[in-house]
Structure 1
Amino acid sequence: MKTVSNCVEDILITQPYLEEALSRNIINFSALAIELTEPISKMLKKDVKPGAIMMALRRYNPPATLSNSVKMKRAIQNLGDITVRSNLTDFTVKNSDSLIDNHSKILDKINEESKLFYTFTRGIHESNIIVSSSLDDFVKTHLKKETFLAIQDGLSAISINLPQDNSKIAGLYYHFFKRLAWEGVVLYEVLSTTNEFTILVEDEFVDKAFTAIKKVKN
């Protein structure tokens, strides 16, 4: 049988910012309990008193990953260089039997000019090619038989070098996404390799995004 505590946990899990505020004791328990009275009453299909909700909030133990653990602090302190690349275009193409062959011609061009920006991601139904905008016409020409689902230019990529053990630290990416959301930055694309994390944003957001990531690092 579902309890008030279960409902509180379900709500907080879907609202990580609220959960973090609770873990840092910077939220008014009484006011939050009153705010949650109606949704929890609907979840339990009976009237629930704010006092019962406030007790559940006080007993709630947030996941350890939300606290500033030593491992998390060390990882953030050891973040590497932040690199910004501008004038990029993102091509979203429907997967096909011919896409890889046509894509290989683009790779040949990339190999000739090492300073060009390039990433390729293949999903189940579609693939993304992100390249320097100077190659826009070249890409369109060599993929003219493919089905373009979206083309977006005027993009910038911000890449962060991560510490070697980043894949073993739960919640590391959360700190980036939280700060970017608080700054009102809209992410167009997110890319990552084992030790590198890249966000793609429209040019209007690049300054705010860079500043937000610097705040995480500092």
Structure 2
Amino acid sequence: MKTISAVVEQYIRKKPFLQSALAQGIINLTSLSRMVKPEIEEELGKEVRNGAIVMALKRLSDDLEFRATHRIVKVLKNIGEITVRSNLADFTFLISESILENQSLLLNEVNKNKDVFYTSSRGVNELNIVVSSTMEGTVQELFQGERCTQKVDNLSSITVKLPAENVSVPGIYYFIFQRLAWEGIVLYEVISTTNEFTILVNDEQVDMAFKTIKDLKTL
């Protein structure tokens, strides 16, 4: 038999933004109960008092396991170096038989200048290259025979060093990206390794993105 608490919890867990806002205590429970009441009643097949829904919501917001944020916050407090690079260009090419050879030629050019920013990721159908704007001409020359589906200029990167335990705590990336989304920050690219991730944002939003990530260390 379904209980009000179980149905309310199921409803909230399907809405991550609502779940986090509830866990942080920034939602009026009475107003929220009135909003979700129709769906809770439909799921239970009977009328439900607002007070019962409020009590279920309060139990959820007080539950440390529901928040799960205490483990995430512990990791985020130990965020390491945050590195910002500006004046970057982002290229997206379709995969071809010659693209790896051209990428190898680009790496040779990048290695001649240690101050140049370079990162790349490959998907099933696309190859993404992010370089310092000073290398734009080189990329366009070496990849002139490739099909470029997108090029974006005036980007900045923020690279974040995460503690090793990030791989054993679920929700780390969700928690970070949720905060960025709340600030209206658009992510052009996300590139990650085991203990490090890099985001690309518009130059105009890099200061806010940096502050948002840095503030995670003081949660």
TM range (shorter): 0.7 to 0.9
Alpha-carbon contact 1:175-1:216 (below 8 Å) kept:
no
Residues 1:204 and 1:48: Cα distance change in structure 2 (over 3 Å): farther
Residues 1:203 and 1:81: Cα distance change in structure 2 (over 3 Å): same
The alignment partner of 1:116 has SS state of coil
> How big is the alpha-carbon RMSD for the aligned residues of Structure 1 and Structure 2?
2.6
Deviation of the 1:133 alpha carbon: 0.9
User: Which residue in 1 is equivalent to 2:65?
Assistant: 64
Matches within 5 A, 1:27-176: 27-40=27-40, 44=43, 48-51=47-50, 53-58=53-58, 60=60, 64=65, 66-69=67-70, 71-176=71-176
Residues 1:2 and 1:135: Cα distance change in structure 2 (over 3 Å): farther
Residues 1:217 and 1:24: Cα distance change in structure 2 (over 3 Å): closer
Deviation of the 1:130 alpha carbon: 0.5
CA deviation digits over 1:188-211, x for unaligned, max 9?
A: 111111121211101110111111
Identity %: 43
Residues 1:115 and 1:48: Cα distance change in structure 2 (over 3 Å): farther
Alpha-carbon contact 2:2-2:44 (below 8 Å) kept:
no
Is 177-186 or 8-17 further displaced after alignment?
A: 8-17
User: Which residue in 1 is equivalent to 2:211?
Assistant: 211
Distance across 2 between alignment mates of 1:129 and 1:50: 56
Deviation of the 1:44 alpha carbon: 3.8
Alpha-carbon contact 2:60-2:66 (below 8 Å) kept:
no
Residue 158 of structure 1 aligns with an amino acid whose one-letter code is I
Alpha-carbon contact 2:77-2:216 (below 8 Å) kept:
no
Deviation of the 1:96 alpha carbon: 1.3
Residue 90 of structure 1 aligns with an amino acid whose one-letter code is D
TM-score computed with the length of structure 1 as normaliser: 0.85
Is 5-14 or 110-119 further displaced after alignment?
A: 5-14
Distance across 1 between alignment mates of 2:150 and 2:49: 49
Alpha-carbon contact 1:23-1:67 (below 8 Å) kept:
no
The alignment partner of 1:38 has SS state of helix
Deviation of the 1:3 alpha carbon: 6.8
Where does the alignment leave 5 or more consecutive residues of structure 1 unmatched? none
Residues 1:170 and 1:136: Cα distance change in structure 2 (over 3 Å): same
Distance across 1 between alignment mates of 2:2 and 2:176: 34
Alpha-carbon contact 1:33-1:50 (below 8 Å) kept:
no
CA deviation digits over 1:130-186, x for unaligned, max 9?
A: 111111111111111111110001000011111122211222223322321222211
The alignment partner of 1:160 has SS state of strand
Deviation of the 1:75 alpha carbon: 2.1
Answer yes or no: is 1:187 the counterpart of 2:187: yes
Residue 139 of structure 2 aligns with an amino acid whose one-letter code is V
Is 115-124 or 76-85 further displaced after alignment?
A: 76-85
The alignment partner of 2:164 has SS state of coil
Distance across 2 between alignment mates of 1:185 and 1:154: 15
